[in-house]
Amino acid sequence: MPVQIPSTAHSRRDGPWDGPTLVLILCAAGAAATFAVFAWTLPFALVLPLFSVAAIAGAAAVASLAVSLAWTQPRGPRQTRITSRITYWDIAGALTLVGIVAALLSDPEQVVPLMEARRPD
């Protein structure tokens, strides 16, 4: 009967606190803080449109991080992709979804008078 010796050398991605998990936690905390600040300081009609813009901008930032990491990390022909963990692309997609839903829930008819009132004549 073969004996299997457990490996003691763990890679940085073996723990629960790898890079994408930390970025997800930071994005969730940042989104909650951004929404709270927008809700307390802006007129109600502008909260969801500006939050959607902030979420899409965050998605673009996370996607650019994913692209830059993909270009800097070497990938050999035998390396397989781990699909059971969250990736930077998952986070960017979730932020994009949040931004689109916030934009769909906002009412543009309420925002137009606020923007026209600020326009210099």
Report yes or no: 49 and 106 within 8 Å, Cβ to Cβ: yes
Nearest to 49 by CA among 97, 115, 117, 108: 108
Report yes or no: 86 and 21 within 8 Å, Cβ to Cβ: yes
| Statement: residue 9 has pLDDT above 50 | no
pLDDT tens by residue, 55-94:
999 999 999 999 998 888 777 666 666 666 888 999 999 9
Q: Kindly list the domain boundaries of the chain, sorted by start residue.
A: 18-71+85-116
Residue 16, phi then psi, degrees to nearest 5 = -75, -10
Query: Is pTM beyond 0.85 here?
Result: no
State in Å, rounded, how far the first CA of the chain is from the last one.
87
**What is the percentage of the chain residues whose pLDDT exceeds 70?**
75
User: How would you class 93 by CB atoms within 10 Å of its CB: exposed for 0-12, middle for 13-18, buried for 19 or more?
Assistant: middle
